[in-house]
């Protein structure tokens, strides 16, 4: 095979990354825009030692789960953001469940019987497969046009709308206009009703021009910002220039130069609390995700009054707050987070919970250097995409918790950590999957790990 060559092939099982597996003359081909059982014409996009990548550019025999993608950019050579728009929504859940199962077998070392006993499903969230993404970063091309990247490429595909973006983001005048000084544009629509647009150059905020009335307003607890009315709601425009930061906001009645000092804050609502955090800070992108994950973690751990708990990789403190509400005011909850912005947000948002301690450290360091020490009753573990790793798993186990809830955004990393747990005698007692990212290949998992004595 050669790059750009077209070959007709039969598609086999799903694989991680939004692909399906096929074979041509014994060589493995990972095919996008296909479904298991289909006969397709695939165009080779990459060649590697031992495998190739390809896009299905013609469907010879379609699977019954195939649908027409609602977005015109979800096609070979188009936007790479959505992997599964050609798959019916219910079949997307089956696709992700199959990927989880394969990873638990191949990387986690679990038997078919052990996986069957878990009865893993991937549960949809409210709201449907479109209009859910509350945080979108648009790339900007050399001509200043905002868009999204092709799959495995830095090439920008200019678009006029992203259908998985939150409706408030779709209504923003970000697309279809030029951003001559920006590398990217970030848009946020929070669950608290805030809508924020930030343009960035070299990773730092820069000048923003946004159509709309230009009055300057004070945001409580935040900087002076520019605000424009978009479809009946306020849009906060953040900028930060070297020297004298200003935002130039052009409106139908003139323009205003507004000084900006620091990041704009947004309000999120989850776990029965209001959260204030920087617009660019980490928060779950699906509006229903935070509450869904909190409910699942509490259901699996069943915290009891007086129990101690750790929230590792705690972010702004979502799980720490939820745990504190269950274990009561006399129990100790310790949260560990390394990102300075998240630590500041956690300390601010959890200030009314004096028994919650926020430790600013890498989790590996906090455990290895005994910044936090056991015994502890409960652990919530929400590591980055790379997973917790063997050292963190072993150190957690050494603290003798009665249960660990592991929140995972990558099935492969989770499965590798499953193997570490099981080798130490622990077992994966329950596993739930959640479709936090419809139309994409991503899936969120929450696993409950129990020690040998339970």
The Cα 319–Cα 271 span in angstroms is 9
Q: Which residues pair with 39 in a beta bridge?
A: 10, 61
User: Does residue 375 have a cis bond before it (omega within 30 degrees)?
Assistant: yes
237 burial type by CB count under 10 A (0-12 exposed, 13-18 middle, 19+ buried): buried
The Cα 80–Cα 22 span in angstroms is 20
The Cα 293–Cα 60 span in angstroms is 41
292 burial type by CB count under 10 A (0-12 exposed, 13-18 middle, 19+ buried): buried
Q: 448 phi and psi, to 5 degrees? A: -105, 120
Cα separations (Å) of 59 from 26, 32, 140, 199?
Answer: 22, 12, 32, 40
The Cα 359–Cα 352 span in angstroms is 16
**DSSP state letter for 36:** T
Catalytic residue among 20, 71, 82, 409: 409
Is 409 a catalytic site residue?
yes
151 burial type by CB count under 10 A (0-12 exposed, 13-18 middle, 19+ buried): buried
Count of other CB atoms within 10 angstroms of residue 243: 5
Looking at 153-291, which runs of residues are DSSP E strands? 156-158, 184-189, 195-201, 204-205, 216-218, 224-230, 233-238, 246-251, 254-259, 265-270, 273-278
Q: Report how far apart the first and last C-alpha atoms of the chain are (Å, whole number).
A: 54
Q: Do 249 and 258 meet the contact criterion of CB atoms below 8 Å apart? A: yes
Q: Which residues pair with 357 in a beta bridge?
A: 334
Look at the alpha carbons of 144, 145, 146, 150 in this order and tell me if their dihedral is positive or negative.
Answer: negative
Active-site positions read 409
């Amino acid at each position: 095979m050669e790059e750009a060559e077209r070959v007709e092939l039969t598609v086999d099982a799903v694989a991680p990354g939004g692909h399906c597996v096929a074979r041509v003359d014994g060589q493995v081909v990972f095919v996008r825009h296909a479904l298991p059982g289909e006969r397709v014409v695939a165009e080779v996009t990459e060649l590697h030692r031992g495998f190739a990548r390809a896009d299905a550019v013609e469907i010879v025999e379609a699977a019954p789960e195939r649908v027409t993608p609602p977005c015109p950019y979800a096609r070979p050579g188009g936007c790479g953001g959505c992997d599964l728009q050609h798959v019916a929504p219910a079949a997307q859940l089956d696709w992700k469940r199959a990927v989880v199962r394969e990873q638990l077998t191949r990387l986690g070392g679990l038997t078919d019987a052990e996986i069957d006993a878990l009865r893993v499903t991937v549960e949809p969230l409210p709201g449907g497969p479109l209009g859910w993404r509350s945080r979108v970063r648009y790339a900007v091309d050399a001509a200043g046009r905002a868009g999204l990247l092709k799959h495995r490429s830095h090439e920008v595909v200019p678009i006029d709308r992203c259908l998985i973006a939150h409706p408030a983001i779709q209504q923003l005048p970000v697309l279809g206009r030029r951003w001559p000084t920006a590398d990217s544009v970030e848009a946020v629509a929070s669950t608290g009703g805030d809508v924020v647009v930030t343009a960035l150059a070299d990773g730092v905020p820069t000048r923003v021009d946004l159509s709309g009335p230009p009055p300057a307003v004070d945001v409580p607890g935040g900087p002076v910002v520019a605000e424009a009315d978009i479809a009946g709601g306020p849009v906060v425009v953040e900028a930060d220039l070297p020297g004298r930061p200003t935002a130039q906001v052009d409106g139908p009645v003139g323009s205003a130069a507004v000084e900006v000092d620091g990041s704009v804050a947004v309000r999120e609502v989850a776990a029965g609390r209001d959260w204030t955090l920087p617009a660019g800070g980490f928060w779950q992108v699906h509006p229903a995700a935070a509450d869904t994950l909190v409910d699942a973690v509490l259901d699996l751990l069943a915290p009891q009054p007086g129990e101690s708990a750790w929230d590792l990789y705690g972010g702004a403190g979502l799980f720490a707050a939820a745990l504190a509400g269950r274990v009561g005011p006399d129990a100790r909850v310790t949260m560990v987070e390394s990102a300075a912005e998240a630590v500041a947000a956690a300390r601010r948002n959890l200030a009314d919970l004096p028994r919650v301690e926020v430790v600013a450290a890498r989790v590996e360091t906090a455990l290895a250097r005994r910044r936090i020490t056991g015994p502890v009753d409960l652990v919530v573990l929400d590591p980055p995409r790379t997973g917790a790793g063997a050292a963190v798993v072993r150190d957690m186990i050494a603290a003798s918790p009665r249960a660990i809830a592991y929140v995972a955004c990558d099935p492969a990393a989770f499965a590798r950590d499953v193997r570490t747990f099981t080798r130490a005698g622990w077992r994966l007692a329950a596993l739930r999957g959640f479709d936090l990212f419809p139309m994409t290949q991503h899936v969120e998992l929450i696993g409950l790990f129990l020690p040998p004595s339970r």
